[in-house]
Amino acid sequence: MPYVNIKVTREGGPDGKGPSAEQKAEIIAGVTELLVRVLNKSPATTMVVIDEVELTNWGMGGMSVPEFRAKRVGNEESKAPD
Amino acid sequence: MPYVNIKVTREGGPDGKGPSAEQKAEIIAGVTELLVRVLNKSPATTMVVIDEVELTNWGMGGMSVPEFRAKRVGNEESKAPD
Amino acid sequence: MPYVNIKVTREGGPDGKGPSAEQKAEIIAGVTELLVRVLNKSPATTMVVIDEVELTNWGMGGMSVPEFRAKRVGNEESKAPD
Amino acid sequence: MPYVNIKVTREGGPDGKGPSAEQKAEIIAGVTELLVRVLNKSPATTMVVIDEVELTNWGMGGMSVPEFRAKRVGNEESKAPD
Amino acid sequence: MPYVNIKVTREGGPDGKGPSAEQKAEIIAGVTELLVRVLNKSPATTMVVIDEVELTNWGMGGMSVPEFRAKRVGNEESKAPD
Amino acid sequence: MPYVNIKVTREGGPDGKGPSAEQKAEIIAGVTELLVRVLNKSPATTMVVIDEVELTNWGMGGMSVPEFRAKRVGNEESKAPD
């Protein structure tokens, strides 16, 4: 009976305002299947909660995400999403 | 000095958009009283945070709540709320 | 299908090392019953996780719990548990 | 690679609707610096998530925050913010 | 830069005391890959924390896990793990 | 009345088994002071919980921390702690 909490930034998806219902359903199905396969957990009692977090409420590297991305672009370090 | 976090789906309540302020206050009072009674905790330093979560962000049985309920109705398994 | 997380300090109980299994079962039953009664939630899909936290890992008032209690005793403010 | 979650009531800030982006960035920078200084953690892999919580969803002393403040004013106990 | 928290009961694994390091690494790799595939997140900044929880600290259906399983066996309802 | 949860790997400190009580008290004092200074929160009702997490239970970059560090050393990318 696992409990999974997934936090992602509220962005992307079909309208740029966060993952679509289909994407969230795919995440729920995928992480449940993973726990069944690796740990033999019951899917029936596996609970998943997804939190979508505003960009200014998320920090990495001592900076909020908007600052973090602005600085990274300046450094030309990486084009990868985060 | 307990800390309690309660996550519920954002639905029900007087306008169908989640628990009313009165219902949330009753939950806060009730869980605090429970910890005082069973574990002799101080109510003064008991903190409770309630999170209301969109239905598409909550999963059970490998499905999001809307899928989970649609399938359950199809199975005629249960009329109970969840 | 609520999810409840309750954090308490690891102390008290029959051996001073935290709540007994019976006390934890009573907390689980009590908070589930509360959510059924106030919000009409299904007990079958209500999940509760209790975390027991070492005293030095918990802070209140800018102090760890051992410091907080030592200071409170000095102030003779209160005899209540916390 | 610490993870920090900070929950505050959604109030205050420039428009009364919660901390400004600048205040949240200052919190992110400050807590990251603290973990670097005290525990020698790497800032690059320190993640911070701030949750802003509605007043009626937060409880203290067995009451929701609006009730808690109304009662405190009645008692003239304290003028301090909380 | 997602954050994932996975809570499972502390049981199973090679010695019955919880998932092995290999199983936990497989969970970490799998959920990270899922977020990359479905939401195009960067694996480099995806953080995963697994919590293993004692059986008596976990509740479902208003009962602790030991009670829940004892009752289920009595009902012969299901042989599935949970 | 903020609530802060800080998760760190269980390592370092005086005996290599995690932060000392003094270090944890310094973290508690520091983050409380930060919230008082930036957001004018009351220290009296600020709660902090520190979780120490086993290295094999923490993942970054799709790998558990032991794998992550072994690979990083191989790449000679960085000497910084994490």
**Which pLDDT tens digit goes with each residue over F30-70?**
999 999 999 999 999 999 999 999 999 999 999 999 999 99
Q: Report CA E19 to chain centroid distance, whole Å.
A: 9
Kindly determine whether residue C59 and residue F44, on different chains, have CB atoms separated by under 8 Å.
no
The mean pLDDT value for E46-73 works out to: 96
Q: Rounded to two decimals, what is the model's pTM?
A: 0.94
Q: How far is B6 from chain F (nearest CA, A)?
A: 14
- Residue E75 confidence class, pLDDT cut points 50, 70, 90: low
Look up the ipTM and state it: 0.94
Domains annotated on chain F, with CATH: 3-55 (3.30.429.10)
Q: 3-state DSSP helix/strand/coil percent for chain A, to nearest 5?
A: 45, 25, 30
**D35-46 residue pLDDT tens:** 999 999 999 999
Going by C-alpha positions, the residue among C80, C67, C60 that lies closest to residue C7 is C60
Mean pLDDT of chain E: 92
Q: How far is A9 from chain E (nearest CA, A)?
A: 7
Task: Please give the residue of chain C at the shortest CA–CA distance from E60.
Answer: C47
Distance CA A80, CA C56 (A): 40
pLDDT at F74 exceeding the cut of 80? no
Is B2 part of the annotated catalytic residue set? yes
- Residue F75 confidence class, pLDDT cut points 50, 70, 90: low
Beta-bridge partners for F64: F59
Pick F7's closest partner by Cβ from D2, D26, D81: D2
Beta-bridge partners for B73: none
**C44-56 residue pLDDT tens:** 999 999 999 999 9
Kindly determine whether residue C53 and residue F48, on different chains, have CB atoms separated by under 8 Å.
no
Q: Which of the pair, A81 or E25, is modelled with greater confidence?
A: E25
Structure confidence at residue B76 (pLDDT): 54
Kindly determine whether residue E82 and residue A1, on different chains, have CB atoms separated by under 8 Å.
yes
Kindly determine whether residue B7 and residue C6, on different chains, have CB atoms separated by under 8 Å.
no
Going by C-alpha positions, the residue among A36, F69, C17 that lies closest to residue E82 is A36
Q: In chain D, what residues touch E45 (CB-CB under 8 Å)?
A: 47
Strand, helix or coil at F10?
coil
**C19-36 residue pLDDT tens:** 999 999 999 999 999 999
Q: Which residues of C7-19 are buried (b: 16+ CB within 10 A; e: fewer)?
A: bbbbbbbeeeebb
- Residue E50 confidence class, pLDDT cut points 50, 70, 90: very high
A14 has a chain B CB within 8 A of its CB: no
Cβ(E29)–Cβ(F62) below 8 Å: yes
Question: E32: how many CB neighbours lie within 10 A of its CB?
Answer: 24
Q: How far is F17 from chain E (nearest CA, A)?
A: 18
